[in-house]
Structure 1
Amino acid sequence: MTSYEAQRLENIRRNQALIKELGITRAEEKPKRPAPKKRKLSHDSARPVRVSARIASAPAKPSYNEDALIKEGASVRAVSRKRASNTKSEAATITVKDTGSPPPDLDEIRAGWTAWKPVAAPPTRDENGTFHFESHPTFLPNKSPAEMLAEGAFGGSYYRRLYSKALKTAIEDDWKELPDDWLKDLNIEKYLTSPQYDPEVNKFKVKCGQSIEEWEANGWIAHDYDVRGWFQWYIRFWLGRRCDDDDRQVGRWDRCVGRNGRWRRMLLKKYIQAGVKTVADEGVDEEEVSPVMHQTCHHWAWEVRQDVLDEAWQHGL
């Protein structure tokens, strides 16, 4: 051991002896502060959710159910606030409450279904097959009611016997108001009054949409005018009736298959994605383009025509 180390140890012993003699003790170290407890959130606590601007601005995924984008609650998919507001405006337009007893004006309502007289001229049809109605220039279907029935629509069950919970009465035989020339070559039991929905009857051999009972439950039926819904309205509108429900029904058609209608755009997008540039006279190959979307549009009196497809390929959607 060097002299320096020996001197250092001696100093340490001397200092320790002095400290002991003076009664000096080392101060205890302060205990470490415990980590704060995490606050437990109850099940009812609202948890903020961060969503990127890209996700928040993305459109909600579509649904194929009739009016499902208008009544978004019927879909299990996420929806945007804008489309949810459309739900309220459409579904709440006409609602008949079940009061537990038949409405006192049931006879008057029934009479109103057939008491109307035609006040408008039949539509004209242009070279592309689109119909034009003078009273509603933006309403541009390209399938007539007679064509829809003859080709196959609504699973052959549109005019089946129906019980209306809202009116508490059975509806049947109202198909008899259809023009005779629409019915002369039509199998009534197969194409109009089948008690069961048969997809094979439909033009594209698939099932789509909801039942009339579901439409009624969701408030989409204007009972004073058309107890079976949109297609019955279209038939009577075609035949010249005009009523206070026209603008609502035309608006629904426009949102579905009008120029910017959601189902029309979705179907045209499928054509482009599949690389299909030609539409056959009697429709398209079911294996190439969605038959469900085709049948849905067909139920709204519209189908893809070559001029529309050409425009979609040329200018996009």
Structure 2
Amino acid sequence: MSSESALTIKLKLNNGIEAPAIALGTANPSESRPKVKETVKAAVKGGYRHIDTAWFYGTEEYIGEALAELFAEGVVKREDLFITTKVWPSNWNNPSRSIDESLKRLGLDYVDLVLQHWPLTFKADADGKPIIKDGNSVLDEDGDYLVTWKKLIELYKKDNKKIRSIGVSNYTIKYLERLLKETDVVPVVNQVELHPSLPQVDLVKFGKSKGIITEAYSPLGSGGAPLLKLPIVETLAKKYDVSGADVLVNYHVKSGRFVAPRSTNIERVTRGFKSVPLTADDLKSLDQEGIDHPHRYINPGFAKSVGYDNWGEEKPFK
């Protein structure tokens, strides 16, 4: 089978900008966050050109240190990379502050993509940090999640040298329909939990019909990469003589989606992912796994009100 790297595959956003289909996810438990600096450096040296982060991940500072060293060493230039960050719901009414703080931590003049992290509004302190009660952020009942998107549009139109693209995350069809009805900029991306156990076929199809590319997070499941043990994944890995991770990542890439696998394992990120020639039947088989046995891994208590399909046992969001 071909050993071509899937890291070279790009997709075109609805604003004409191209971006690498595979991003390095940087959401990690607090104890692993300091490792992100060396992970990012190894990943970029290994071929990654898309990095996905967010204020909530607590990793932007480490990414900024890594980028500064990569630029100084001449490994890459800023324009060689595609950087995504996100606005947390505690800054729902002030995304400009969130973006400026992210840029400062990242040490950058601009980000390539800003996402509204969740279609929710949280109560916050004077610094925009969420107010926590019983382990979860407190919802601001007087807020409107669409205000965040409208303000991102204003910022994007006013200064797209600072923000090259805008999109959303964790939106359902219902929420996307309202957004499209009430505003005049179509998100370039909707980033959601997506994998063979949660294919979200209708959401992907809806997004595609509107020019919104779906991006998958948690593509291997969650902690411990449980999806590597799915029989269909093991079968396809054997068929193409690749790893299960290669199959799970190509499930998205070959479907025209972005995907953001995360890891702090230097050897793993340096290895990257092979391009796997999955067929239409292979992709349908992977979808069918989740249609028959759906399972959602990311179930934070604060998000239950959004009305996601296949909501499981609520978990603390760390």
TM-score (norm 1): 0.23
Is the radius of gyration larger for structure 1 or structure 2?
1
Determine which structure has the larger strand proportion and give its number.
2
